[in-house]
């Protein structure tokens, strides 16, 4: 496959893989990094999974995207999890040379890599406060296993939910969580029978009843 880098810094995805023999076959790969909340924490800080704006709603659009969203056979996140190391603040500036590289203390460590389809690690919450970005889940084991809130529901539910995120009013409130969206759709059975487990950033892992 040919590797096509995004033409602009704010375009999705970071890398497009395009078949050499059939250019209709494309895969989107976004590069992600995030840190564990504590060195041995079960949770990470989370990351964004691309926009749920123009190119996601209108999947024929080419705004801020290398190829239109629906041209890709799959959308993947290639990510790195790491731990932040305690930093020592010095009163003087130390200048290192190349020979010192093996002994320079690192500020990050314990790298762990993952590759997942982005809908499998998506949450039902926005990933940033001031932009239209899809948020990730934050429970590390579920990120590694692709066990996000949509994992048992499927990619179609993921697409439909995020295309309508914050646009539908139900019981006088805009819908910004999956449970309420399923209630609006008359599919409370999907919430119960899919045994969806919500992972909280507080460290509590519990079934949402």
Q: Which residues does the annotation mark as catalytic?
A: 14, 30, 32
DSSP string for residues in 163-180:
HSTTT-EETTEE--SHHH
Angle at 145 between CA 201 and CA 135, to 5 degrees: 45
DSSP string for residues in 137-151:
P-BHHHHHHT--TTT
CA distance 82 to 84: 7
CB atoms within 10 A of CB 21: 6
3-class DSSP state of 162 = helix
Distant-in-sequence, close-in-space partners of 151: CB < 8 Å, separation ≥ 6: 120
Angle at 175 between CA 172 and CA 176, to 5 degrees: 135
Angle at 151 between CA 148 and CA 152, to 5 degrees: 135
């Amino acid at each position: 496959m040919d590797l096509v880098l995004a033409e602009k810094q704010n375009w999705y995805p970071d890398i497009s893989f395009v078949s050499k023999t059939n250019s209709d076959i494309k895969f989107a790969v976004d590069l992600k990094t995030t840190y564990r909340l504590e060195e041995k924490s079960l949770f990470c800080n989370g990351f964004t999974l691309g926009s749920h704006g123009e190119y996601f709603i209108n999947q024929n659009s080419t705004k801020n995207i290398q190829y239109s969203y629906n041209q890709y056979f799959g959308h993947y996140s290639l990510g790195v999890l790491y731990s932040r190391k305690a930093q020592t603040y010095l009163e003087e500036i130390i200048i290192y040379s190349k020979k010192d590289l093996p002994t320079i203390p690192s500020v990050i460590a314990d790298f762990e890599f993952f590759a997942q389809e982005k809908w499998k690690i998506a949450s039902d919450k926005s990933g940033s406060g001031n932009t239209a970005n899809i948020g990730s889940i934050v429970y590390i084991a579920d990120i590694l296993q692709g066990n996000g809130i949509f994992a048992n529901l499927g990619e179609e539910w993921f697409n439909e939910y995020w295309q309508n995120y914050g646009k539908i009013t139900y019981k006088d409130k805009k819908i910004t969580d999956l449970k309420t969206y399923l209630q609006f759709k008359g599919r409370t059975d999907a919430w119960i029978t899919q045994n969806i487990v919500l992972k909280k950033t507080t460290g509590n892992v519990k079934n949402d009843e």
